[in-house]
C-alpha cells in the first residue's frame, strides 16, 4: 500500500493521535518557526503510544494516519516517498494538503526520471535499462513534470525537495547532456 492511497474504508475511524506530552509541547514551543522536525513517512506502526493512540497496520496508517501524525506537536514535516517512482499529479497531492494544519510541510522526493544519470540495468526500466538518462537534471523537464504539480497540489504546504541518488544510478561525470563514465567506474571514483 502506498502513501498515495489515503481514502478511508467505509465506516472505519481514522487512527487517533495521543495526547501530547508536556515535554513535547515545551520543546515544540522552543523551536524556531523555521525548524521543522519530521520523518520520511507517517505510516510507522511502532509509534503507537507516541504518535498514534491505538495499534494500526502500516497500510492503514499510510491511508489514514497523516492527520494524527500532523497533530503531534513536534512533527511539522513528513516525506512523500512514492513520488520517486512515479511523478505526481496535483490531484494526487491535494488530499495530503487538506489533512495537515497550517505551517506543516512535506518533503517530496523528485522522481527518478529527473535524478538518475543512468537507468539501472533492471527489467522494470524496459528499453531504458542501462542507458543514459537524457532528462537527468533537466530543469525544464523537472519543472513541468514535478515542480509544477507539487506546487499545484500542496500549495503552501510544499517544502523541501529531495534529489535522491538511486541505486546504481551514478553516471560519474556529466558533460553535454550525457554521462561520460560507466556505472561501475563511477562507483569507485
- Compute the average pLDDT of residues 82-88: 93
Instruction: Identify the band that residue 103 occupies on the pLDDT scale cut at 50, 70 and 90.
Output: very high
* Residue 7 scores a pLDDT above 80: no
Instruction: Report the predicted TM-score, pTM, of the whole model to 2 decimal places.
Output: 0.79
- Give the C-alpha separation, 25 to 48, whole Å: 18
Largest CA distance in the chain: 56
Nearest to 86 by CA among 63, 109, 66, 107: 109
- Give the C-alpha separation, 47 to 69, whole Å: 10
Q: Is 79 left (phi over 0), alpha (psi -120 to 50) or beta?
A: beta
More confident site: 148 or 182: 148
Parse the chain into domains and list their residue ranges.
1-36+45-74, 81-188
Cell 511539522 appears where? Answer: 76
Q: What is the mean pLDDT of the chain?
A: 84
| DSSP conformation class of 78 | E
- Give the C-alpha separation, 65 to 102, whole Å: 17
Nearest to 100 by CA among 154, 63, 46, 137: 154
More confident site: 12 or 16: 16
* Residue 4 scores a pLDDT above 80: no
Cell numbers of 124, please?
522494470
Instruction: Identify the band that residue 127 occupies on the pLDDT scale cut at 50, 70 and 90.
Output: very high
Amino acid at each position: 500500500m502506498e502513501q498515495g492511497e489515503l481514502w478511508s474504508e467505509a465506516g472505519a475511524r481514522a487512527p487517533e493521535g495521543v495526547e501530547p506530552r508536556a515535554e513535547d509541547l515545551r520543546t515544540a514551543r522552543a523551536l524556531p518557526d523555521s525548524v521543522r522536525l519530521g520523518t520520511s513517512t507517517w505510516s510507522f506502526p511502532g509509534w503507537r503510544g507516541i504518535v498514534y493512540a491505538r495499534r494500526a497496520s502500516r497500510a492503514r496508517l499510510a491511508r489514514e494516519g497523516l492527520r494524527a501524525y500532523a497533530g503531534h506537536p513536534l512533527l511539522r514535516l513528513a516525506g512523500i516517498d512514492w513520488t520517486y517512482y512515479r511523478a505526481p499529479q496535483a490531484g494526487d497531492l491535494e488530499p495530503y494538503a487538506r489533512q495537515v494544519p497550517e505551517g506543516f510541510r512535506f518533503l517530496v522526493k523528485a522522481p527518478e526520471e529527473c535524478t538518475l544519470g543512468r537507468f539501472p540495468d533492471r527489467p522494470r526500466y524496459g528499453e531504458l535499462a542501462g542507458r543514459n538518462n537524457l532528462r537527468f537534471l533537466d530543469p525544464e523537464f523537472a519543472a513541468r513534470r514535478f515542480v509544477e504539480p507539487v506546487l499545484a497540489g500542496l500549495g503552501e504546504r510544499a517544502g523541501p525537495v529531495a534529489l535522491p541518488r538511486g541505486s546504481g544510478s551514478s553516471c560519474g561525470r556529466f558533460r553535454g547532456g550525457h554521462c561520460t563514465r560507466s556505472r561501475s567506474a563511477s562507483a569507485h571514483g
